[in-house]
Amino acid sequence: MLPWGWVFLWLLGRQRTGGLSTAGCPTKKLLWTYSPGKEEEFVLFCHISGPWRSCFSHENQCSPTQSPKALPCRHQGDLAEVRWYRQHGDVGPLEEIAGGHPHITPNESMLYFRTPELAEPGTYICRARLRSAPRVDVPCCFKTVLDVRPQTEAPCNASAPHKQFLLLGTMGSIRCPRLGCQADSHRPEVTWYQNGKVLSGEKSDSILVDDIYDYHQGTYVCDYALSPNASSWIARAVVHVRTIVADTKFKPDIVYPTQDVLEVELGKPLTLHCAVRFGFQRDFNPVIRWYIKDADREWGFPTFQEKSIKSTFEEEVIECVVFLKEVTWRELGCKFVCFAQNSVGNVTQTIRLKEKRGGVLLYVLLGTASTLVGLLAAGVLVYTYWIEILLLCQIYQSKDETLGDKKEFDAFVSYAKQCASGSEAPSHVSEERLALNLFPEVLENKYGFTLCLLDRDVAPGGVYAEDIVNAIKKSRRGIFILSPNYINGPQVFELQAAVNLALSDQMLKLILIKFSSFQEPESLPPVVKKALRVLPTITWRGLKSVPSSSRFWAQVRYHMPMRHPRGRVGRWLGAILQTFSLERTRWIRNCCNELTV
């Protein structure tokens, strides 16, 4: 049921719009006399009044307890929508004036004419329609017959302008243009409007204002009858009133830039902003621009954008923006000047562009610092793991020097036998235990070397000296565990024999283990004395050196003959190295060759 009701109402509404009768509309005849060539505006009101006031909800609102049926009051929200039409001829069709018209602008219940020369005389009709209450029994319309004529007689001196200014806080008056020339006795009664609302108290040709406030600003309209005949034409004039402060006595004031130097990056685009505060002036002709100046000339800089960024009664701040695509060395030598001027005078602010160095310097410093730290870390690593690196190189090089040298042992171990085979403190490792237990345990069992221990591997029975020489000859290395016992005991002969053999045998190399410190006895053979000075020496550091992962064993292994990786660790290292890329291995090979040269 309900939808059909709405359709009926809609049809009814449509019918009313389509069949608009303009006959019942109240009519006013308005005359616009304009001064040719001058800027002037005109405005039409939708004067729906009297019994038609109910067309406008805001003019006649219901009190909260009132029923909307008790017309002519309206509820809030029933706002009227005003449409303007132009009628061709007296009974011609209506043409709606929409927003996009170039010279006529409908604004709420008013219609503005911007250009007198282009205003068409004729009949203008406004209609008010309530958005939510279509059933209005009265024609909500108003008809204006407009005549537009240029002023033919010479303008009178006393005629008031269409733009008038009121100084805030003072006393002043708003005068109706063109009326001032008539003699007082002939002056007609005037109806004044401010922003479309009638000022019922004002009937004379000017409005006196005792104390001017900003709400006095606005668009005023004065209407007066051209003859006492009620059906006669009514003349209308529009006055724009602006409340102002007194003109400034000061030059403009540059808000920014305030600095003289601007840091820029070469090659980057640059935007320069200049904001200038201009004091109020009635005839306001602000100038704001940028120009460039070098040693002997100056030239303009095209303004990219100029906009007002703040506007009050007293002042206006205008910003001028210029844009530079790229900062080059040329610009660094120039001065950029922001120039601002009003009728009082001019001001400038000059800035020089400076290359931003801080950033580059910081990068350089950071770069240097991180490189140094990196080098330091690498140095510490290389220092700490030097032996490991060399071992890695040896293993990688995989030159097996044990092949085809006809030697039986990797190392001959020479040590001092303990005379007093007494109790050995658990915190102390004797040199004998080092030679007989730790050396085989680590070098033989863990790393696969073959050791020659005289007591273990040489069958007794031969001549001692001959046995020694033979055993050393069959070994690739001679390891000598030096201590006061050793250096002063009979075993020093083994060292002497080995040195002599090593002088003639390139494949035999000697390693000294400094088990504990000792003093060289005078009686030591000179060849041994020299050997002690030049041969590689590894220091035994007691219990710290016992674990097979200690630096002591790494150093020993470094001096031991090179073989194919045989132990677990060797295989592991080999596997790691195989995963290196070709380039990397080539680099390592070169590096290793250099290290081992």
Neighbours of 442 (CB within 10 A): 20
State which of residues 35, 61, 105, 516 lies at the interface with ligand NAG (CB under 6 A): 105
The pattern of x and - marking residues 32 through 51 that bind ligand NAG according to CB under 6 A reads --------------------
Quick one: which of 207, 197, 195 has its CA closest to 166? 207
Selected range binding ligand NAG among 44-52, 270-278, 341-349, 391-399, rule: CB under 6 A = 341-349
Return the structure tokens found at 123: 């009949």
Q: Residue holding tokens 């004065």?
A: 222
Q: Is 343 in the site for ligand NAG (CB under 6 A)?
A: no
Which one of 96, 319, 494, 583 is the catalytic residue? Answer: 494
Window of 233-241, 339-347, 424-432, 580-588 that interacts with ligand NAG by CB under 6 A: 339-347
Q: 526-534 vs 492-504: helix axis angle to the nearest 10?
A: 70
8-16, 315-323, 338-346, 571-579 -> range binding ligand NAG (CB under 6 A): 338-346
The count of chain residues that interact with ligand NAG, using the rule CB under 6 A, is: 9
Task: Sketch the per residue contact string, 490 through 529, with ligand NAG: x for CB under 6 A, - otherwise.
Answer: ----------------------------------------
What DSSP element (H or E) covers 442? none
CB of 245 to ligand NAG, least distance (A): 22
- Closest to ligand NAG by CB, 112 vs 518, is 112
Residue 345 Cβ vs ligand NAG, minimum distance, rounded to whole Å? 5
The sign of the dihedral angle between the CA atoms of 542, 547, 551, 556 is positive
Please confirm, yes or no, whether 326 is among the known catalytic residues.
Answer: no
Residue 345, interface with ligand NAG (CB under 6 A)?
A: yes
**Contact between 107 and ligand NAG (CB under 6 A)?**
yes
Distance in Å, CB of 358 to ligand NAG, minimum: 36
CA-nearest of 521, 450, 533 to 492 is 521
Which residue is associated with the tokens 């902003």?
273
Tokens of 76: 């809030």
Residue 300 interacts with ligand NAG (CB under 6 A): yes or no = no
Pair 265, 358: CB distance under 8 Å? no
Note the residue count of the chain: 597
Residue 49: name the closest of 137, 146, 128, 113 by CA. Answer: 128
**63, 185, 229, 517: which one contacts ligand NAG (CB under 6 A)?**
229
User: Closer to ligand NAG at the Cβ: 345 or 536?
Assistant: 345
**Residue placing its CB nearer to ligand NAG in the complex, 305 or 346:** 346
Q: Rule CB under 6 A: is residue 285 a binding residue for ligand NAG?
A: no
- Least distance CB 200 / ligand NAG (angstroms): 21
Buried b (16+ CB within 10 A) or exposed e, 525-564: eeebeebbeebeebebeeeebbebeebbbbbbbbbbbbbe
Residue closer to ligand NAG by CB (options 183, 403) is 183
Among 346, 368, 370, 445, binds ligand NAG (CB under 6 A): 346
Rg (CA), the chain: 56
DSSP3 helix / strand / coil % (the chain, rounded to 5): 30, 30, 40
| Structural tokens at position 93 | 């069709």
Site for ligand NAG in 564-593 (CB under 6 A): none
Least distance to ligand NAG, CB of residue 341, Å: 6
**Binding-site string for ligand NAG from residue 148 to residue 187, where x marks contact by CB under 6 A and - marks none:** ---------xx-----------------------------
Residue 122 beta carbon to ligand NAG: minimum distance, rounded to whole angstroms:
19
Specify whether the backbone of 448 is left (phi greater than 0), alpha (psi in -120 to 50) or beta: left
Instruction: Give the pair of three-digit tokens for residue 29.
Output: 């005849």
Q: What residues from 77 to 96 belong to the interface with ligand NAG (CB under 6 A)?
A: none
Spatial distance between the Cα atoms of 415 and 453, rounded to a whole number of angstroms: 9
Nearer to ligand NAG, 181 or 366 (CB): 181
The nearer residue to ligand NAG, 98 or 534, going by C-beta atoms, is: 98
Of the candidate residues 185, 231, 423, 523, the single one contacting ligand NAG (CB under 6 A): 231
| Strand ordering across the sheet containing 509-514 | 451-453, 409-414, 475-482, 509-514, 537-539
The pair phi, psi for residue 57, each rounded to 5°, is -60, -40
Please say which residue, 200 or 229, places its beta carbon nearer to ligand NAG: 229
Q: Which is nearer to ligand NAG, 54 or 243 (CB)?
A: 243
In angstroms, the CA 533 to CA 498 distance is 15
Active-site annotation, residues:
494
For ligand NAG, the binding residues (CB under 6 A) are 105, 107, 157-158, 229, 231, 341, 345-346
